[in-house]
Structure 1
Amino acid sequence: MSRRDEIECWLTDMDGVLVHENEPLPGAAELLQQWRDLDAPYLVLTNNSIFTPRDLSARLRASGLIVPEDRIWTSALATADFCASQIPGGSAFVIGEAGITTALHEAGFIMTETSPDYVVVGETRNYSFEAITKAIRLIAAGSRFIVTNPDATGPSADGPLPATGAIAALITKATGKDPYVVGKPNPMMFRSAMNRIGAHSENTAMIGDRMDTDIVAGIEAGLHTILVMTGISDEAEINRYPFRPDEILAGVHELVSDEPIESDL
């Protein structure tokens, strides 16, 4: 188990850690600035596959947080990275938005409805019966079934919305085929993120607000895990699980140093 003073690289969730409903959480801007001052490798992670890193960078900037697009790692990027590692220059039929289609295009994939190597299901607010039917038929015919993230619902002002996991369950029921899920809690998302910034598990920390995704995946990836209480977790939620994070903090403001920042580089 790494001590915090041994941590050199950082992974952090976005919603519930840095922002809540587009409002920055206490200490988020200061922590990001601290990492910049130290030139510390870091990535902001999200299971949401709708948006491209450029989109998310702009949304964070509107919230008062400066995160360059090359410091954002989405489940869409992790999915494209995985698919390209398995079948370089392959093909895919995609249900999703710009986040996943752009990531797959940039990874060298061709989008097609004719015998694709993969059927990839990501987050979207425009699910169509026609597209779901096409996905079911392609998977039944032999295409591999990939899902960007397992979240069954997503938030909205009017209440929960069906999300990627719910649509994947529908397709699984129709085909009898379970998908390979790339995003959290699959630790592969963290490993691909660490590869992106040249980090190693022994000196990398993961900051998250969810025991069932951020913390369990961080533990399985061998990271120093930090749970913040600014998201959905409370003491009762923590006690439901047989594992515990290395640290439990009120929020990321507790990670901001009061000491003058001096880079080793």
Structure 2
Amino acid sequence: MSDGNGIECWLTDMDGVLVHEEHALPGAAEFLQRLVDSSRRFLVLTNNSIFTPRDLAARLSRSGIEVPEESIWTSALATADFLARQLPGGSAYVIGESGLTTALHEAGYILTDTDPDYVVLGETRTYSFEAITKAIRLVEAGARFIATNPDATGPSKEGSLPATGSVAALITRATGAEPYFVGKPNPMMFRSAMNRIQAHSETTAMIGDRMDTDVVAGIEAGLRTFLVLTGSTKREQVRRFPFQPHRVVDGIGDLVDLI
């Protein structure tokens, strides 16, 4: 069986696969256009919970990649989907940006700091001591603790920034409560994405640049996995992992012929 046989739907990570530092990676636009031309169902996935799909679509467009906003699935959307299934019409105290608050509003959630059902932690460039203190006290009072993703740091032009995972660890240390992380490497994010496009694991493939998030979550979700070497994981690191992708390629352009 050739690599592309039986693949009807595609999931692909964004940073390190389609773009790098606001620039399109070779073959990315061609790959996505081939998906559109062949009427293949697909979603672009990201653990970034800061931005709405519309924001991210605009960002991709500026780099020369056209993706409709309905084809973007973020950890914020996955978190809102998860909470809407767990407790429809619930309430949450949220630390995060518009990507997360918009997703929760659209899922029917009430955002409040008074006796919420959940404390929901996402990524923001302006974590405040006051907000973190409020989150700690609400968790101590019985609110359930959810986080969009476990990434410990995020990139900036000046260097690493603390991200959701780091702040979640602070809240856990203060309260003893471990959060439930919805985003990668939780395969639930992939399952919710597949539900969004009515895909089945047996006929869906995942493209990512990280062995410890994209590939492992894809394998656990039952997907065929492709690792590109344009992002975090380098070729010499692949063999160190106890799990392996279906195929390792230099970049997403090497997968165009599979569509």
TM-score range, shorter chain: over 0.9
Q: Does 2:3 correspond to 1:11? A: no
Distance apart, 1:236 and its partner CA: 2.6
Q: Which residue of 1 aligns with 2:149?
A: 149
Give CA-to-partner distance per residue, 1:44-95, whole Å, 9 cap, x none: 0000000000000000000000000000000000000000000000000000
Query: Which amino acid in the other structure matches residue 119 of structure 1?
Result: V
Q: Which residue of 2 aligns with 1:243?
A: 243
The whole-number CA distance in structure 2 between the counterparts of 1:140 and 1:182 is 21
The whole-number CA distance in structure 2 between the counterparts of 1:56 and 1:240 is 33
2:257 partner SS: coil
CA contact (8 A) 1:47 1:148 kept: yes
Distance apart, 1:256 and its partner CA: 1.5
Q: Does 2:54 correspond to 1:54? A: yes
Aligned residues with identical type, % of pairs? 71
2:167 partner SS: helix
Q: Which residue of 2 aligns with 1:196?
A: 196
- Between 1:185-194 and 1:1-10, the stretch displaced more is 1-10
Query: Which amino acid in the other structure matches residue 12 of structure 2?
Result: T
Give CA-to-partner distance per residue, 1:98-147, whole Å, 9 cap, x none: 00000000000000011101100000011111100000000011100000
The whole-number CA distance in structure 2 between the counterparts of 1:248 and 1:237 is 12
Q: Which residue of 2 aligns with 1:232?
A: 232
The whole-number CA distance in structure 2 between the counterparts of 1:193 and 1:104 is 16
Distance apart, 1:221 and its partner CA: 0.1
Q: Does 2:78 correspond to 1:78? A: yes
Q: Which residue of 2 aligns with 1:44?
A: 44
2:55 partner SS: helix
The whole-number CA distance in structure 2 between the counterparts of 1:30 and 1:253 is 7
1:6 partner SS: coil
Q: Does 2:209 correspond to 1:209? A: yes
The whole-number CA distance in structure 2 between the counterparts of 1:86 and 1:33 is 36
The whole-number CA distance in structure 1 between the counterparts of 2:136 and 2:2 is 45
Q: Which residue of 2 aligns with 1:172?
A: 172
Aligned Cα root-mean-square deviation (Å): 1.3
Q: Which residue of 2 aligns with 1:122?
A: 122
Distance apart, 1:240 and its partner CA: 2.1
The whole-number CA distance in structure 2 between the counterparts of 1:164 and 1:118 is 16
> When the two structures are superposed, what TM-score results if normalisation uses the length of structure 1?
0.96
Query: Which amino acid in the other structure matches residue 152 of structure 1?
Result: A
Query: Which amino acid in the other structure matches residue 194 of structure 2?
Result: M
1:146 partner SS: strand
Q: Which residue of 2 aligns with 1:254?
A: 254
1:84 partner SS: helix
CA contact (8 A) 1:79 1:148 kept: yes
CA contact (8 A) 1:78 1:189 kept: yes
Distance apart, 1:205 and its partner CA: 0.1
1:4 partner SS: coil
Aligned residues: 259
2:88 partner SS: coil
1:206 partner SS: strand
Runs of 4+ in 1 over 6 A off after TM superposition: none
CA contact (8 A) 1:2 1:203 kept: no
2:218 partner SS: helix
Query: Which amino acid in the other structure matches residue 186 of structure 2?
Result: N
Q: Which residue of 1 aligns with 2:106?
A: 106
- Sort the Cα spacing of 1:131 and 1:25 in 2 relative to 1 into closer, same or farther, 3 A: same
CA contact (8 A) 1:17 1:208 kept: yes
Q: Which runs of 5+ in 1 are unaligned?
A: none
- Sort the Cα spacing of 1:92 and 1:2 in 2 relative to 1 into closer, same or farther, 3 A: farther
The whole-number CA distance in structure 2 between the counterparts of 1:118 and 1:140 is 11
1:256 partner SS: helix
Q: Which residue of 2 aligns with 1:133?
A: 133
The whole-number CA distance in structure 1 between the counterparts of 2:43 and 2:4 is 17
- Between 1:1-10 and 1:184-193, the stretch displaced more is 1-10
